[in-house]
Amino acid sequence: MTRTILSNAQIVLPDGIVSGSLVIENGQIAAIDVGTSRHGEDMDGDYLIPGLIELHTDHLENHYRPRPGVFWDPLAALHAHDAQIAGSGITTVFDAVRIGSDQDLPDMLSHAALLIEAVRAGSEGGWLRSEHFIHLRCELPSHDVVQHFEAFADHEITRLASVMDHTPGQRQFRSLEDYKRFYAKQMGRSEAELQAYLDARQAEHDRYSAANRRAIVSRARELGLALASHDDATIAHVEEAAEDGVAIAEFPTTLEAAAAAHDAGLAILMGAPNVVRGRSHSGNISASDLVVAGLLDILSSDYVPYALLQAVFILPRRIEGVSLPQALATVTSNPARAAGLDDRGEIALGKRADLVRVGAETPLPVVRSVWRQGQRVS
């Protein structure tokens, strides 16, 4: 039996914060001694929180494709990604892998296969710090997204799929003028070239999106795979998601859609960078506004892993009535519940000893130590 004692800690429980010690045995939380400082590793009064759970991060893809046209070794990309994930206090991560080819990446199947195989190899090899699962981001207007989904949907580490439609004029960018302002300079196209691009994307949407959604949702149901919707903007979008059996509403773009998702029983996920910045990068609803309205369940680091922990400590300072345990639930117990991971997500007896020691005496929270199933990983 392996045994570790962490003493003199501010232990963040689901319903409050207590001073005391925590005992780990065989990878699980065996005892929580309130007001008692056992002889063990001294936490020096730092917070002890559950390991963070990330359901949607594009960070692995960013390491794999650090520049347009540059593709890194997938195992090296995973190694760098995993180190930053664990160093940010994230002990369970769903790596988002986009599927569905487009003109910029015409062979997404091979790229997705390399990334998923890297995650499988790293998991089986035992060298990953955090536990990794796969989240398939299904781009519905793509002509081959169903083929890609069939290739990976029943993979042993695939646990979540989201149905997305990034067609200009849909969902995230309902206003074509907003889309043009956001992407015109980035894409380096003339007005005529940009309009031709928009027309082609709309044609793909009209041809493929609806049929691809039906096929993916049907197959996901057969496999019992958790589903998320993406960038719901209207009540009709949410009604469609609820009818499809979606469990998570990722990044709703309007208050109307978020309220409808809440009423339909969907867990609402928003980006932690939105909280940190105080606004959406594309001009949609603020995550903080959804917190005030009682309409936010889960935060995702999206493209900045450390933003997850940063947002947790920002929310109690920014929004009256939000406690640290409540903020922490958006990155621990709530995503665990939404993903069906009932063995983790809170500091409680019998739960996995996925833990993070956090110093908060500086303006930003500092990750001092990370344990996964009782083993120190960072």
Q: How far is 346 from 364, CA to CA, in rounded Å?
A: 22
Residues 14 and 139 placed together within one structural domain of the fold:
no
Residues 109 and 35 placed together within one structural domain of the fold:
no
The answer, yes or no, to whether residue 190 has pLDDT greater than 60, is: yes
Mean pLDDT confidence for 5-28: 97
Q: What is the pLDDT of residue 7?
A: 96
The answer, yes or no, to whether residue 148 has pLDDT greater than 80, is: yes
CATH classification of the domain holding 282: 3.20.20.140
Residues 144 and 213 placed together within one structural domain of the fold:
yes
Which residue has 């793909």 as its token pair? Answer: 204
pLDDT tens profile 192-203:
777 777 777 788
Q: What is the pLDDT of residue 174?
A: 60
pTM, rounded to two decimals = 0.92
The answer, yes or no, to whether residue 243 has pLDDT greater than 70, is: yes
Residues 145 and 5 placed together within one structural domain of the fold:
no
Question: Alpha carbon of 5 to those of 27, 39, 49, 360, 363: distances in Å?
Answer: 12, 7, 15, 21, 28
The answer, yes or no, to whether residue 149 has pLDDT greater than 80, is: yes
Q: What is the pLDDT of residue 283?
A: 62
DSSP codes, 75-133: HHHHHHHHHHHHHTTEEEEEEEEEES--SSSTTHHHHHHHHHHHHHHHHHHT--SSEEE
Residues 247 and 130 placed together within one structural domain of the fold:
yes
What domain count does the chain have? 2
pLDDT tens profile 301-333:
999 999 999 999 999 999 999 999 999 999 999
Domain encompassing residue 359: 1-50+346-378
Residues 145 and 44 placed together within one structural domain of the fold:
no
The answer, yes or no, to whether residue 41 has pLDDT greater than 70, is: yes
Residues 363 and 261 placed together within one structural domain of the fold:
no
Cβ atoms < 10 Å from Cβ of 89: 29
94 in Cβ contact with 135 (< 8 Å): yes
User: Under 8 Å CB-to-CB from 5, ≥6 apart: which residues?
Assistant: 21, 22, 23, 24, 38, 39, 40, 41
The answer, yes or no, to whether residue 182 has pLDDT greater than 60, is: no
The answer, yes or no, to whether residue 175 has pLDDT greater than 80, is: no
Residues 263 and 364 placed together within one structural domain of the fold:
no
Q: How far is 43 from 304, CA to CA, in rounded Å?
A: 27
Residues in the chain: 378
pLDDT tens profile 117-136:
999 999 999 999 999 999 99
Mean pLDDT confidence for 50-70: 95
Residues 101 and 166 placed together within one structural domain of the fold:
yes
Residues 297 and 360 placed together within one structural domain of the fold:
no
307 membership: H or E segment, kind and range: helix 307-318
Summary mean pLDDT of the chain: 92
Residues 10 and 30 placed together within one structural domain of the fold:
yes
The answer, yes or no, to whether residue 249 has pLDDT greater than 60, is: yes
The answer, yes or no, to whether residue 176 has pLDDT greater than 80, is: no
CATH classification of the domain holding 33: 2.30.40.10
Residues 2 and 30 placed together within one structural domain of the fold:
yes
Tokens of 243: 């009818």
What's the longest Cα–Cα distance across the chain? 71
Tokens of 233: 């903007």
Q: How far is 34 from 142, CA to CA, in rounded Å?
A: 55
